[in-house]
Amino acid sequence: MTDSSLLNSELELQQQEELYQQLLLQTMGKLQTPTSDSKSIRPLPGMCVKTFTEPGKEKVFINICQSGSVPPPPELSREALVDLLQSEDPSGYRVPMSLGEPHIEMDNGSQSCTAYDVVINQDFFQKCQEDPLFQQFVILVSAEGLENKYQLELSRDWKVLKNRKFLGSLSEQNIRTKSRPIIQVLQPQEGSTASCKRPKFRLLVEPPTGDPENLIAEIELPGVRSSRSLLLDVGEDRLVLTARPSLFQLDIFHPFLVDQENAVAQFNTQTQVLTVTMPVVSS
C-alpha cells in the first residue's frame, strides 16, 4: 500500500519554467549539490515495476515517478510509436528523465531488494497510464536508462504492481535548469583501461563547402551488436563514447560548437557503425 505519510505531506507541483533542453537528465554518476544551474524537485508517486537482474535474479523495483519540472518528450502518436518500436534502432527517440541513485528497501516478504527512482514528465506519465503501449515503452526506456548508467542487465519479464505506486520513500532529486555541456566523467574499472580500444572514426562536415550546418561523426564498432551497450555523451565541443563491456572508448574534441540538445545518434546493426549528427552553432 502507498505510504500515507508521504501522501499527507505537502507535495507541490513545480511550475513550468524555461528548462534545459537536455535529452538525458542527471547523467553524472552521483547526485550533485544544487547550484545555480540546477534545482531540487520532489517527484510525485507514479507506478512501481518489479523485475530482476540477469543472470543473478536479484529483485529490483523501478519507481517511475512524475514531475512537472521534467520537460516532456517530443510529441509522438500511437502509430508513430508502433513504427518506432518496429524500427532497427528506436533509440533515436529520447524521453527526458532523471535517474536516481539505488536505495535498499524491504519487500513484502521482508527480504532486502534494490529500488531505483526514475522521474519523467507528469503529462507524459498520464499518457502512459491511458495507453498500455506507451506504458510498456516508458518502462523499457527506464530500464535501459538504468542499465546504461549502472552497468546492469534487467529482465524484460517485468510486472507493474497494481496496489503500490512506489517502494520505499521518494527522495528529492536535482535536475538541471540551464543548458550546459553534458560530459560524463567516465571512471574505468580496474584493469579495463588496457582492454579498451580506440575505434576508427571520421568527422564529416555538411555541406562540404560554405558555412557548416552539421558535424557528423561516423564511428566503427566491430563486435557491437546493439546500441544498448553504448554510452554516448555529446558536449558543445567534445564527444565521449564507451562501448561496454570494455570494447571501445573514444574521447575527442572537435573545432566546432554544436547544439548538443538536438544531436541525433543512430547505430546500424548491420554495418556496426554509429553515426552522430550534431548541428553546428559556430566554428
Instruction: Summarize pLDDT for 198-245 with one digit per residue, the tens.
Output: 899 999 998 888 888 999 999 999 988 888 788 888 888 888 888 876
How much is the mean pLDDT over the chain?
77
Closest CA relative to residue 49, chosen from 142, 120, 144: 142
Instruction: Summarize pLDDT for 109-155 with one digit per residue, the tens.
Output: 888 899 999 999 999 999 999 999 999 999 989 998 899 888 889 99
Strand, helix or coil for residue 244: coil
What H or E segment, with its residue span, contains residue 7? helix 4-8
Q: Which pLDDT band, with edges at 50, 70 and 90, does 182 fall under?
A: very low
Q: What is the DSSP string of 201-219?
A: EEEEEESSSSS--EEEEEE
Q: Show the domains of the chain with their CATH numbers.
A: 38-176 (no CATH), 201-279 (2.60.40.790)
pTM score of the predicted model: 0.52
What is the chain's length?
Answer: 283
**What pLDDT does residue 248 have?**
86
What is the spatial distance between Cα 234 and Cα 241, in angstroms, rounded to a whole number?
A: 9
